[in-house]
Structure 1
C-alpha cells in the first residue's frame, strides 16, 4: 500500500513539474446572449467569471508578459491568466471592455484585418449576423490599455492555403496591422486553431514571437511558443468548470479535447 501511494505521489510530482509553467489562456468570442451560438457568452456570465477572478486573487496578463516569462524567465503575478478574444466582435468593445475596466483587468483581441468594422460574413454557416469593431473602437481599446494582435486577413483554414496565400495572410497582414494601429504585432492567433509545420515556418519568417492555437496539434509535454493551447469558454459554461479551467489543472481540459478529437478521427478512419 505504501509503495502504491509513493508511486501515485511520484506521478503527480512529475506531472506538476511538466505543467507548472503553463498559464491558463482563455478563449472567448462574442459577449452576447445568443442561445443558438455556443461561442456567444452572455454578459452576465462573463461578469460572474471576472468577479471570481478578482475575488480569488487572479491577475490577467498580456501576451508580452507571457513571452517574457517563457523566454527571459520574468516573474508573473500570482495566479496569472491570459484572456483572449477571437475575431474582434463589436460586443467585445461594448460589453466586455466596461467589465474589464471595472475589474481592472486586461485582455487581447484578435481582429481579422479585412473584416474590421464589417458584418461577420466570413461565418457563412448559419451564424447570427453581427458587426466587428471598427478602427475607432480598436484604437479606443488600445487607449484603455488593452492589446490587439492579428488574426490573419480573411480567417481562412491556414492548413489549406498555399505558400502565396499564407504569405498574404500572415506576413502581409502583420505589416498592415502595424501601419494601421502604429504598434508592433508580435503574436498571431490561428483561425479555427488550425496550423501545421508549414504555417509555423512562415509565422517564424514573419518574426512573430508566439502564436496561439486551441488544442488541435498542440504538444502537451513541452511548451511550443508557436502552438500555445487555449481553453474555450462556451456559452453554456458552468462556474464550477470555469474554476477548474483557471486552476493549476487547466491543462487537463486541453488534453481531454485533444484526445477526444483524436479518438473521433480514428473512429471515422475505420468506418
Structure 2
C-alpha cells in the first residue's frame, strides 16, 4: 500500500512539473507591445559619482537583466533604422542609448553590455575627443570608441554636436539660441558646420553610417533640425518620454529616461508599460510559410492537404485551420491558426520564429523574411 501511495505521489509531482514548466516559461514570452520600440536613455554609469543622471553599474546590470527576464528584446541601431523604414521588430523591442560619450560607458557599461549581448549606441560630444580627460566628467578616447565598434557588431556611435553642448548667457541651448549679433544666416552656418565637424571627427572610428544624433538637452527647433539634416543626419533623438513608432518624425524620436538612480528595474518596466501605445484592431503579422522558409535556406513540400517545412535539422508539418504543428508524433501549439489565404498557406511570423527557434524580421518593401543578426563579439 505504502509503495502504491509513493508511486502516486511521484506521478503527481511529475505531472505538476509538466504543468508548471510552461507556466514558468510563459512569463518571458508575454507580449506587451508590438510594432513600437522603447528607446531608453542613459548618461553616466559610475559606482561613486552621484547625480540625477548617474546610476551604478549594478543598477544598470539589474535593469537589463530584469527586462531580459520579462521578455523584452534588445535591438541594434541598424534594426531600429530598418524598423523605421518598414521592417518588423521583435515584440517588446528596446533600444539602449547613451548621451555624452563619457569614459564610464567604456569602463562601466560596455563590459555589462558585452556580457549580456545587449546592443547600444552612444552619442558623442566630439570636441572632447581632443583631450578626453580634460572634461568635467572624463570622456572616451578615439581608441576606446574604435575598439568597441570594431570588436562587436552591436555597439554604435552617433553625434551629440561638436561644440554646442552648452547654454548661452540667455539660458538658451546653443543649438537653438542666437549668439550676440548673430543673424539667421550666421546661425544656420554655425549649426551646419558644427554638425559636419561632429560627423567628420567620428569618421574612421566606426564602419557604420554616421547619420544619427541626439540633441543636447533634448532641445531642437525647425531651423536647427533643417541644418542638421543638411549635414547628413537622418535620425535624431529627443527626450520626449514616449514610445517610438514608425509614424514618428525620424528627426524627433522620443526616448524614455532609464538613467536616474531612483529608477529600479521594476520601475523601469512600469515606466515602459505606461507608455505603450494602443494598437486597436491590430492583427499578428502573417507570412507565406513556404516562401519564408525557402528564404531562410530551408524547403517546403506539400503532403496531401498539409505543408511540411524543413530548416536545418528541424521539420514541422502544418495543417490548414489548425493552431498547432506536428514534429514527428509530437504536437506543438501555435498562438494563431494556420490559414490558406489567396492560395498560400500562411503562418504568424511569431509562430514561425518559435517553431525554428530563430528571431525573424520581415521587410514589407521586399517581401522577405530573414533571421535577425545575433549580437556577437568578433574574434581577434
1:171 equivalent to 2:196? Answer yes
Structure 2 equivalent of residue 237 of structure 1: 263
Report which stretch shifted further, 46-55 or 235-244: 235-244
Q: CA offset at residue 240 of structure 1?
A: 2.6
Q: SS of the residue aligned with 1:160?
A: coil
1:32 equivalent to 2:46? Answer yes
1:160 equivalent to 2:168? Answer no
Query: Which of 132, 144, 147 pairs up with 1:140?
Result: 147
Structure number having the greater helix percentage: 1
Task: Say which one has the larger Rg.
Answer: 2
Question: What is the CA–CA distance in structure 2 between the aligned matches of 1:61 and 1:120, rounded to whole Å?
Answer: 33
Q: CA RMSD in A?
A: 2.8
Question: What is the CA–CA distance in structure 2 between the aligned matches of 1:118 and 1:171, rounded to whole Å?
Answer: 20
Question: What is the CA–CA distance in structure 1 between the aligned matches of 2:105 and 2:271, rounded to whole Å?
Answer: 21
Question: What is the CA–CA distance in structure 2 between the aligned matches of 1:215 and 1:60, rounded to whole Å?
Answer: 20
1:151 equivalent to 2:160? Answer yes
Question: What is the CA–CA distance in structure 1 between the aligned matches of 2:77 and 2:246, rounded to whole Å?
Answer: 21
1:249 equivalent to 2:258? Answer no
Q: SS of the residue aligned with 2:203?
A: helix
Structure 1 equivalent of residue 213 of structure 2: 188
Gaps of at least 5 residues in structure 2 are 1-32, 167-172, 179-186, 279-380
- The one of the two structures with greater contact order (alpha-carbon pairs below 8 A, sep at least 6) is 1
Deviations 1:22-72 (A, max 9, x none): 31111000001356411101111101111112212222112221121122x
Deviations 1:188-235 (A, max 9, x none): 11111110001111122122221011129x999951110011111212
Q: SS of the residue aligned with 2:176?
A: helix
Structure 1 equivalent of residue 305 of structure 2: none
Gaps of at least 5 residues in structure 1 are 1-18, 122-128, 253-271
Question: What is the CA–CA distance in structure 1 between the aligned matches of 2:75 and 2:244, rounded to whole Å?
Answer: 22
Question: What is the CA–CA distance in structure 2 between the aligned matches of 1:120 and 1:184, rounded to whole Å?
Answer: 28
Query: Which of 234, 237, 247 pairs up with 1:212?
Result: 237
Task: Check 1:183–1:249 CA distance in 2 against 1; reply closer, same or farther (3 A cut).
Answer: closer
Structure number having the greater strand percentage: 2
1:41 equivalent to 2:58? Answer no
Answer yes or no: is the 8 Å Cα contact 1:31–1:41 preserved in 2: yes
Answer yes or no: is the 8 Å Cα contact 2:57–2:109 preserved in 1: yes
Question: What is the CA–CA distance in structure 1 between the aligned matches of 2:108 and 2:90, rounded to whole Å?
Answer: 26
